[in-house]
Amino acid sequence: MIPSDAQAIGRDSVEQQTELFRLAESRYGLKLADIAKRTGIPLTTMQGWRRGTAMPAWGLFALKQAGVPDELLSLVSAPFGCSVTSRTEIDIEELCEIAAELDQLYTDSRRPASEAGIHIGHTESARLHEIAEKLRARAGVNG
């Protein structure tokens, strides 16, 4: 990996922090102030991370201990080809549900009446990748 690639990947990772915090609140009801309280990390630090200040690795694991789900933490590591997981047992039923959701979205995205016709549009692609990352994280697959 050449340095410019590392910098670009690093920027993509930092950009995903905003999405992590947005989804933590919208999907899981984890408000920034609540996460700060659970971790003992100052709210101003959390706000900086949400705005794009690079979060250190220890911050990611502090968020995990505060209850932020693996698939959201994996958003930050995805540009590096990694995912966050701590599962020792795989919930096959849950994996099948997520896989079915991915399959349905893919099928819907390829319909002529979809965003980009039979091709997959930008919004559809982003959502497909999000669900695929969730599946990868739940399955415990790194990279």
Phi/psi zone of residue 141: left (φ > 0), alpha (ψ -120 to 50 degrees), beta? beta
Q: How confident is the model at residue 1 (pLDDT cuts 50, 70, 90)?
A: very low
Residues 8 and 61 occupy one common structural domain: yes
Domain that holds residue 61: 3-70
pLDDT in tens, 69-124: 888 898 888 888 877 777 656 778 888 999 999 999 999 999 999 999 999 999 99
In DSSP notation, the chain reads --HHHHHHHHHHHHHHHHHHHHHHHHHH---HHHHHHHHT--HHHHHHHHHTPPPPHHHHHHHHHTT--HHHHHHHHGGGT------SS--HHHHHHHHHHHHHHHHHHTSTTSTBTTBPPHHHHHHHHHHHHHHHHHHT---
In a domain, 51, yes or no: yes
| Chosen domain end from 22, 38, 70 | 70
| Chosen domain end from 70, 101, 120 | 70
Residues 16 and 63 occupy one common structural domain: yes
Residues 98 and 59 occupy one common structural domain: no
Residues 100 and 56 occupy one common structural domain: no
**pTM of this structure:** 0.59
Number of compact structural domains in the chain: 2
In a domain, 75, yes or no: no
Confidence (pLDDT) at 83:
76
